[in-house]
Amino acid sequence: MSEGIETSAHAGPDQNALAQEFVAFALASGVLRFGEFKTKAGRLSPYFFNAGLFDDGAKLGKLARFYAQRVLASGVEFDMIFGPAYKGIPLAAALAVELAHLGRNVPFAYNRKEAKDHGEGGTLVGAPLQGRVLIVDDVMSAGTAVRESIALINATQARAHAIVIALDRQEKATENGHDVDHSAVQYVQQQLGLQVAAVATLDDLLRYLQQTDAAALAQAYPQVLAYRQRYGVA
């Protein structure tokens, strides 16, 4: 079983700086917001991360640079990129472009949610799945989508090898309506044997809020910390 890549909470100063820069970028882009939001698990979260709001060329290009830097710093080996429908599709394409700019040109593919019965047909689009596949997505909540991607990839000649996400919520997953002692990321690492790299984690967000000079952001720190203490994993 593969060991998980170090998350930014345990990484060196360069990764910590990258994570703090990413949090600032997400806040400035309106992708990361504070308030009261209901999660899929029915929890009331004091923050919300919506990667769908990286919605113009400049934001998407900068997001791709964060992903690329994290992937290359992690040292994970991969032969191609896969983006799960739907949010993973532009992420995979943008990451492939950025990696090519950095001298690492790799193929990418994505899936449709509905099979096409004409043209090339099927649910897969792009390069043929082969070798070690890096899955790119925004966050991993319940882990359902990533398990579907892993099954799809492993049903071919390829092998799902690693995953890169923008934010690790470091939050307990739910199974059959009950909290469990692991997060979706930890499940993928420990039970499915895939490596996972995150550009930033909830701990990085807490560090940013604790150190910020902006009073409005600093006020969110106690609520986010309380949420982490109640629902977080080690």
- Domain membership of residue 192 (yes or no) is yes
Q: pLDDT at position 9, please? A: 41
- Asked if residue 196 has pLDDT above 70, the reply is yes
- Domain membership of residue 224 (yes or no) is yes
- Domain membership of residue 3 (yes or no) is no
Q: How confident is the model at residue 3 (pLDDT cuts 50, 70, 90)?
A: very low
List phi, psi (to 5°) of 133.
-105, 130
Which H, E and C letters describe 80-124, residue by residue? Answer: EEEECCCCHHHHHHHHHHHHHHCCCCCCEEEEEEEEECCCCCEEE
From the candidates 40, 113, 118, 178, give the one annotated as an active-site residue: 118
CATH number at residue 199: 3.40.50.2020
Q: pLDDT at position 8, please? A: 43
Q: How far apart are CA 228 and CA 30, in angstroms?
A: 21
Whether residue 52 contacts residue 86, with contact meaning beta carbons closer than 8 Å, is answered with no
- Look at 226 and 148; give whichever has higher pLDDT: 226
- Domain membership of residue 2 (yes or no) is no
Active-site residue flag, 178: no
**Count of other CB atoms within 10 angstroms of residue 71:** 24
Within 8 A by CB and 6+ apart from 84, the residues are: 110, 111, 135, 137, 145, 146, 148, 149
Q: pLDDT at position 70, please? A: 97
Mean pLDDT of 115-130: 75
- Asked if residue 103 has pLDDT above 80, the reply is yes
- Domain membership of residue 1 (yes or no) is no
Q: pLDDT at position 117, please? A: 56
For the stretch 10-30, pLDDT in tens is: 445 588 999 999 999 999 999
Q: Please tell me the total count of domains within the chain.
A: 1
Q: Which domain holds residue 171?
A: 8-231
What is residue 182's DSSP assignment? E
- Asked if residue 178 has pLDDT above 80, the reply is yes
- Asked if residue 133 has pLDDT above 60, the reply is yes
- Domain membership of residue 152 (yes or no) is yes
From the candidates 116, 161, 172, 178, give the one annotated as an active-site residue: 116
Q: pLDDT at position 123, please? A: 86
Active-site residue flag, 113: no
For the stretch 29-77, pLDDT in tens is: 999 999 999 988 889 999 999 999 999 999 999 999 999 999 999 999 9
- Domain membership of residue 143 (yes or no) is yes
